[in-house]
Amino acid sequence: MLVDSKQLWLWWSILLFVGVYSTPILNFEYHNYSALSQYLHNMATAYPNMTRLYSIGETLRKHKLWVLELSTAPKSSFGIPSVKLIANIHGNEAAGREILLHLIQFFVTNYTNDETVHWLLENTRIHVLPSLNPDGFEISVEGKCEIGPGRENARFVDLNRSFPDHFQSNTKPRQYETQAIEDWLSNNTFVLSASLHGGALVANYPYENVMENTWDAAYRLLNTSELSNKMSPWSHLPPDMREPYPPSISPDDDVFQHLAVVYASTHPTMHFGYPCNRMDREFQGGITNGAAWYPLTGGMQDYNYIYHGCMEITLEISCCKYPLTHDLPTLWDDNRDALLKYISQAHQGVRGVIRDNNTHQPVLTSGLKIEGRDSYFRTSSRGEFWRILLPGTYQLQVQATGYEPQTIKFTVPQKRLEKHLTPTWLDVNMPPVVRKATVVSDQVLLPTNPPDEASTVHYTATQKMVGLTNGHTLSPALFTEITLTSTDFVKLSNTPEADSHKPEKLLSVEDAGSDGIMWTSMKYMVILNMIFVFVLLFI
Ligand SMILES: [Zn+2]
């Protein structure tokens, strides 16, 4: 059936009307837990091809920690980076919560008419957690710009002091909310993250803590004072204490500074670095190293980077922690472009896939690092990896159990003419470690450098098991793997192609080196000599 242009126009109008009509309405007002949950469910229903709603956990008050994932990239696409945005970890810092809801609205309603939004959704997975502390938000008070209820969770614990800490032991008990974040990070490979706060106007980057032996009395005062959680971090200190502390520099300091500058310089006022009140200080360019502002233990920012290789910065987006409703439109306008540009930074640097050189199957490892940068990152469950890097020449170092370590040189070029950032792609092929196993009598001897206890050495499986013969040297290809199950035993696993009736054998190992062979041979010689002497005596 032919459709003339009038009919076509009519159909498009109907579709457009239905689309607009079905888009959930989002006003500039604060949404309590049930309103926020309803909005996210409505969005997931209205845009099933662009969104995925899931919960990463539940609070003491049985509030779910909802995440809405935004992306139009097919699940099967390789190399799509995951970015996460979190707000409201401090329940009384409320502006970020509403800004992230408006970001969701902006993405889904501008997919077809905003080129940047379209490109980001096609090429990025954006996970949005509007409230990490819904229990705290429920008791916080609009208009309270500094001290106010709701900063902590329902157990009165500051969530941004409750994560495992690399620098200091953190004895605070794990909270439902922090455990949910830890699990979320363990089950996903996030490349980039931001946590939205209020009470200042600055982009704060790692590290936010320092090694214990560099702490002085002032650091301790700041972290142990009851006031530190309730007031501006400087307000209880004498004026000379408002000077910056020494920065705590991370191996990726250049990247973190870049990320902070991207946000602050795109924000219309953050880059001025003006203090929010006379007790605070200026931030040059609107950015600061976390520890240089004030060091803290158990923060989420350092935890992301050190424990999971995810680059997270902290965005203080409003001088007032809980601004009045009528300030929300301005706050959204101020942060919209900065958020879009920040998300796009996930496409700066290097990415690729790590595979087995022989089987071409993905290799999973947490042993990835850029040479000269003492910070590790890991692959996804499909062997993909990402790392944000500034233009330059680097070497990727890859270590994975059962494979020979690899070092690959690559270049991240200066921004090209294309509108969007384009990362350098690396395919990394890992050659499996090859070892020889020697069978002498009922013993298996690994000639050199046996793996540590319980570690695994993988072999290429190309031949079938031919049985164990005294003194016969077996090709590594006969086994899929050799696993040390204790210091005394080696477990041989047959290849998949091997005779399925042949049982696995547990064989003792006396020594892993040539000394073992020597010692075994000597034993037989001693026994033979004893028999020979006995026969001589007998005759
Ligand atoms: Zn905060």
**CB distance 474 to 495 below 8 Å:** no
Query: What spacing in Å lies between the alpha carbon of 392 and ligand 1's midpoint?
Result: 35
Query: What spacing in Å lies between the alpha carbon of 228 and ligand 1's midpoint?
Result: 12
Q: d(Cα 80, Cα 73) in Å, to the nearest integer?
A: 8
Query: What spacing in Å lies between the alpha carbon of 412 and ligand 1's midpoint?
Result: 35
Each domain of the chain, given as residue ranges in start order, spans 47-347, 350-430, 437-518
Q: Supply φ then ψ for residue 484, to 5 degrees.
A: -80, 115
Residues bordering ligand 1, an ion, CB closer than 5 Å = 90, 93, 197
Query: What spacing in Å lies between the alpha carbon of 405 and ligand 1's midpoint?
Result: 42
Q: What is the CATH number of domain 47-347?
A: 3.40.630.10
Query: What spacing in Å lies between the alpha carbon of 53 and ligand 1's midpoint?
Result: 25
Query: What spacing in Å lies between the alpha carbon of 160 and ligand 1's midpoint?
Result: 8
* Amino acid in position 59: T
Please pick, among 93, 152, 312, 316, the residue that the annotation labels catalytic.
Answer: 316
Local confidence pLDDT in tens for the 539 residues of the chain: 444 555 655 555 554 444 544 788 999 999 999 999 999 999 999 999 999 999 999 999 999 999 999 999 999 999 999 999 999 999 999 999 999 999 999 999 999 999 999 999 999 999 999 999 999 999 999 999 988 899 999 999 999 999 999 998 898 888 999 999 999 999 999 999 999 999 999 999 999 998 766 655 455 555 544 434 434 444 444 444 455 688 999 999 999 999 999 999 999 999 999 998 877 778 999 999 999 998 999 999 999 999 999 999 999 999 999 999 999 999 999 999 999 999 999 999 999 999 999 999 999 999 999 999 999 999 999 999 999 999 999 999 999 988 999 999 999 998 766 778 889 999 999 998 865 444 433 444 444 444 443 333 333 222 223 333 333 334 444 443 443 332 223 334 333 333 333 333 333 333 233 333 333 344 444 455 566 556 666 65
SS3 assignment for 385-424: EEECCCCEEEEEEEECCCECCEEEEEEECCCCCCCCCCCE
- Which letter, b or e, does each residue of 394-419 get, where b requires 16 or more Cβ atoms within 10 Å of its Cβ? bebbbbbebbeebebebebeeeeeee
Sheet strands (E) in 392-504: 392-399, 406-412, 424-430, 437-440, 443-445, 456-458, 473-474, 479-484, 489-494
Q: d(Cα 159, Cα 209) in Å, to the nearest integer?
A: 16
Sheet with 190-197, strands from edge to edge, namely: 51-58, 64-70, 125-129, 82-87, 190-197, 311-318, 200-205, 287-289
Active-site residue 316, yes or no? yes
Query: What spacing in Å lies between the alpha carbon of 500 and ligand 1's midpoint?
Result: 60
Tokens of 135: 């229990």
H/E element, 57: strand 51-58
The domain 350-430 having CATH identifier 2.60.40.1120: the answer here is yes
The DSSP secondary structure of 356-375, one letter per residue, reads ETTT--B---SEEEETT---
- Kindly provide the ipTM of the predicted complex, given to two decimals: 0.99
